[in-house]
Chains A and B, each alone.
Chain A
Amino acid sequence: MSYLKIQHVFFGLMAFSAILAFVVPARYASRVVPQMSMLYAPVSRPVAGVAGWVSNRVAPPGMGDRRAAADIRQENQQLRSEVARLRMQIIELARRDSELAKLGDIKSLCKLVKVIGGDSGPRQSILLAGSSLQGLKPDMYVLHPGGLVGQIQRVSAGGAQVRLVTDPGFHIRIRFFRFQNGVPQPLPGIPMVVAQGDGKGSLVIRALSLEQIGYDPNGKPLHKKDADNATLVDGDYALVNDTDSPAALTGVALGRVSRISYRTDARLFADIRIHPTTNLEALPEVMVLMKEQ
């Protein structure tokens, strides 16, 4: 008799899983699942630390930037000085205007949270050592010093899970910029467009035609001398420019263009891949945007 009951329990659980997986919409199904990721932190964080150390020794992350080191250092120096200049201007404006006093370094709006580990499946997410008890809420954006990491997908007293920008379920509106003399310049003629995670460590933009980004149907640049920055090239920056997201996110970097090709299902349209500046799944800690302004 007990043997039959165990079989019934098992197949009942299997039927429940099948219904939960294939029938119940995701936004309701995720509410059923408790978030207990922090329970694994005592093991997963030391393991990730050791694995990260070994990974950096055996296969250090590639630069992805083929420019000469001297050029990169020069650009870094220019960017640092430009950021410092802009920051001083903002501080001065904030001091003068009481409304602008609410502006400031985005870090002051954020809370530092440690990362427990990555997704246990094929999706792109990270688990945070933070919970609703510390003020974390769903749909809060998460950042790192190099740009946007993702958005909190679900959170409870037991932990929080962040959907990375490279996950297929993530999308945000961006604009392309190019740094000239340390100043980010928008690329004229290329409108704001939605970037989606492709599930393979990058984001993809598929709504722009080749002509819009400065190429003919054969993939050759339309403008021989790109004095007006009308041609999108590898290395251009994708910065957040989305009215549906908090104003503090405007201008936050998403990544750099790593590949431009045409869509296989629509050859007149471009397939633009944007690669984040770092491996988002291997971040040791992140900043959660707690306040929008």
Chain B
Amino acid sequence: MRWLTFAIFAYLTVALQIGLGPFVGYHGATPNLVLLAAVFIALYAPRDAALLGCFVLGALQDMVTIQQPGLYALSYGLVALFVTGTQQMVYRDHPLTHFSLALVGGLVTEFILVLHGYIHPPAARMGDVHIVLPAIRLSATTLLIGALYTAILAPIAFAPLQRTKPWFGFQPGRRKMRFW
């Protein structure tokens, strides 16, 4: 995979997520464009490049959210592990594949975020006026809607992305990725 193309792709994806996020939400749920990028890379890139590329996408997203650092890097790494394992078993260019993998990716990410929210809630239990207020956690329903929203956008987003595959220089899987 050409890492310069990937770097530009990652930059544009994160910038679009930052810029569009507040305007395309539905009842608080926003689509995760970076997840779509991660699924695209994981689906078409060789396994080694896909694993590291998805991890990098997650790390970049961690830098522009006030969520605990490491959550998205971990999530997209797991997504990459799953998707690269299915590369040989699915029709990579089929819209249903894009939808399904994006949905699974969204559910994996949601699971990690909800799990973290239960262990370390954003608003811990606190006291006020002699009353103990329970913790406030992320809404699993909102995250689920966001995952569905992202999955619905996947076939639409992947259509133009598939035309850019030559720019990434995806090599067949039998070739090992080398940094030197």
A120 interfacial by beta-carbon distance below 8 Å: yes
In the complex, which of the residues A2, A21, A52, A119 has the most CB atoms of chain B within 10 Å of its own CB atom? A21
Highest count of chain A CB atoms <10 Å: which of B55, B63, B66: B66
B34 at the interface (CB under 8 A from A): yes
**A36 pairs with B63, CB closer than 8 A:** yes
* B121 contacts across to A, CB distance below 8 A: 168
Which B residues touch A127, using CB under 8 A? 18, 64
Q: Which residues of B contact A46 (CB under 8 A)?
A: 19
Residues of B within 8 A of A265 (CB): 134
- B19 and A45: CB pair below 8 A? yes
Say if the beta carbon of A131 comes within 8 Å of chain B: no
Residue of B nearest to A279 (CB): B22
| Segment among B68-76, B87-95, B97-105, B158-166 that sits at the interface with chain A | B68-76
Given A14-B55, A127-B64, A196-B136, verify A168-B19 contact (CB < 8 Å). no
Inter-subunit contact A191/B129 (CB<8 Å) = yes
Query: Are the CB atoms of B133 and A10 closer together than 8 Å?
Result: no
Q: Which residues of B contact A42 (CB under 8 A)?
A: 15
Within 8 A of A (CB), among B27-70: 28, 30, 34, 48, 51-52, 55, 58-59, 61-70
Q: Which of A14-56 contact B (CB under 8 A)?
A: 14, 16-22, 26, 29-30, 32-37, 39-40, 42-48, 51-52, 54-55
Chain A interface residue count: which class? 35 or more
Rounded to whole Å, the gap between the CB of A61 and the closest CB of chain B is 11
CB distance from A21 to the nearest CB of B (A): 4
Contact, CB under 8 Å: B138 / A207? no
Asked whether A37 lies within 8 Å of B18 as measured between CB atoms, the reply is: yes
Residues of B within 8 A of A17 (CB): 55, 58-59, 70-71, 73-74, 77
- Asked whether any CB of chain A lies closer than 8 Å to the CB of B12, the reply is yes
| A7 → B minimal CB distance (Å) | 8
Q: What is the bound-complex CA distance between A33 and B11, given in angstroms?
A: 17
Q: For chain B, residues 110 to 147, give those with C-beta under 8 angstroms from any C-beta of chain A.
A: 112-113, 116, 119-123, 126, 128-129, 131, 133-134, 136-139, 142-143, 146
**Which residues from A are CB-within-8-Å of B59?**
17
Q: Does B16 contact A (CB under 8 A)?
A: yes
> Which B residues lie within 8 Å of A35 (CB)?
63
The reply to whether the CB of B85 lies closer than 8 angstroms to some CB of chain A is no
Contact of A135 with B by CB under 8 A = no
Which A residues lie within 8 Å of B171 (CB)?
A: none
Decide: A40 near B55, CB < 8 A? Known: A47-B20, A117-B19, A168-B137: no
Known interface pairs A6-B177, A10-B52, A207-B129; 16 further A-B residue pairs with C-beta atoms within 8 A, sorted by A's residue number:
A3-B176, A6-B176, A14-B55, A17-B73, A17-B74, A21-B71, A36-B64, A43-B11, A51-B23, A51-B24, A122-B113, A123-B66, A125-B66, A199-B122, A200-B142, A206-B131
Q: Which chain B residues have a beta carbon within 8 Å of chain A's beta carbons?
A: 11-12, 14-24, 28, 30, 34, 48, 51-52, 55, 58-59, 61-74, 77-78, 112-113, 116, 119-123, 126, 128-129, 131, 133-134, 136-139, 142-143, 146, 176-178
Q: Interface residues, chain A, CB within 8 Å of chain B?
A: 2-3, 6-7, 9-10, 13-14, 16-22, 26, 29-30, 32-37, 39-40, 42-48, 51-52, 54-55, 116-123, 125, 127, 153-154, 161, 163, 167-169, 171, 191, 193-194, 196-201, 204, 206-208, 265, 269, 279, 281-282
